[in-house]
């Protein structure tokens, strides 16, 4: 590969489940719009918080699914490539998990 040739496109680990993820994210998007409507309509605080919690759990489920697919696809592929590539992917996963735990 020459210096001017771009690297081959990377297939994301979630490519097989992309449509399912998009469907779920669209559903979450609708839930968020519903929460905004609840606030506009001065809905009782606890009811709004209940819906925020539901959206948070739904996003966490999407995150965990993406993380699982990343490990199964990208990390495994990197481990087959080299120890260095595997170590870099593991570091990447640890950083991602750290961000998820803090959110």
Evaluate whether residue 83 is within a structural domain. yes
Task: Please state the pTM of the whole predicted model.
Answer: 0.80
Evaluate whether residue 66 is within a structural domain. yes
pLDDT digits (tens, 9 = 90+) for 20-31: 999 999 999 999
Please report how many Cα atoms fall inside a 13 Å half-sphere around the Cα of residue 36, on the Cβ side: 6
pLDDT digits (tens, 9 = 90+) for 44-69: 999 999 999 999 999 999 999 999 99
Supply the CATH number for residue 64's domain: 1.20.58.1000
Looking at the structure of the chain, the number of domains it has is 1
Can you tell me the distance from the alpha carbon of 31 to that of 78, in angstroms, rounded to the nearest whole number? 37
Give the other-Cβ count within 10 Å of 79's Cβ.
14
Closest CA to 15 of 65, 61, 58: 65
Evaluate whether residue 10 is within a structural domain. no
What is the end-to-end Cα distance of the chain in Å, rounded? Answer: 40
Expressed as residue numbers, the domain containing 77 is 17-102
């Amino acid at each position: 590969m020459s210096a001017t040739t771009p690297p081959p496109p990377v297939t994301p680990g979630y490519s097989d489940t992309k449509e399912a993820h998009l469907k779920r994210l669209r559903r979450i998007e609708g839930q968020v719009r519903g929460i905004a409507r609840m606030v506009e309509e001065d809905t009782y605080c606890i009811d709004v918080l209940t819906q925020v919690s539901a959206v948070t759990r739904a996003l966490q489920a999407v995150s965990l699914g993406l993380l699982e697919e990343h490990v199964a696809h990208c990390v495994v592929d990197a481990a087959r490539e080299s120890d260095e590539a595997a170590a870099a992917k593991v570091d990447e996963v640890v950083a991602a998990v750290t961000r998820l735990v803090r959110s």
